[in-house]
Amino acid sequence: MATRPPLPIPELHAQKITLTAAANHFGVWPTVIYNIERGLRRDDTFADAYRSWLAAA
């Protein structure tokens, strides 16, 4: 099984985007993003959208 790259946590912090702001943008609780970032939960569709959003920010 191919592994996916980790979510871009450093980019989130480097751009001064809070976890709450990201969660509000996607309409999810901050814990959802927190768990996905740390590999406690997997949602490839959300992770791809999250990476794209951070790249555009």
Q: Is pTM beyond 0.85 here?
A: no
pLDDT at position 13 over 80? no
Give pLDDT tens digits for 14-29. 677 788 999 999 999 9
Percent of the chain with pLDDT over 90: 26
Contact 19, 30 (CB under 8 A): yes
DSSP class of residue 12? H
Confidence of residue 5 (pLDDT cuts 50, 70, 90): low
Question: Hey, what are 37's tokens?
Answer: 């970032």
Handedness of CA 32, 46, 25, 34 (dihedral sign): positive
Confidence of residue 38 (pLDDT cuts 50, 70, 90): confident
